[in-house]
Amino acid sequence: MPKVLIVIGDATECLDTMYPFFRLPEDGFDVVVAAPEKRLYHMVLHEKPPGWDITQETAGYHLASDIAFRNIQPEDYAGLFVSGGRAPEYLRYDQDLLEVTRHFFDTNKPVASVCHGIEIIAAAGCIAGRKATTVAKCAIDITSFGGLYIDEPCVVDGNLVSARTWHDNTPFMREFLKLLKQGQ
């Protein structure tokens, strides 16, 4: 089965991650969870409670990674899924992950980014000249790096499929799967 990398770290958002984790194998893709190290990671739940101006974060499930970023051979993978949550705030400094991310853009393989995942795409230098979406508070991560922020549930620009939050999982995964299947 073709393999798809899912990028996580501590404080990765549960629904951003677990939906593709289970959905991709339903369409014949093997999921490989990648993180800074091969170990158990702590995910979080994000919700904006009524009356709040910011997102509330609570503890979520745990997920083990299969491979450390430094050990990834990106040519072995059909696609890259960059999950959201707060994890991308620190993952975007990992040079091995940025190199892997660039590979997918350089080879025009499908890349999916949800919520804060766009921070990694931007840090890798892969957003300039592209249209993308993200959670509104991360729009600056698109525009500051030369991209065009579009406030829609799902935006497809070439090999990049982006979504605002887990609320957009259905159209987001539909478009990502289309690109993955075209590449087979």
Give me the active site residues, please. 116
Per-residue DSSP letters for 13-26? EHHHHHHHHHHHHH
**Rounded Cα–Cα distance for residues 58 and 49 (Å):** 12
**Residue 29: phi, psi to the nearest 5?**
-110, 135
Could you give the C-alpha distances from 40 to 21, 23, 62, 95, 140, in angstroms and in order?
Answer: 15, 21, 7, 21, 31
CA angle 101, 102, 106 (to 5 degrees): 130
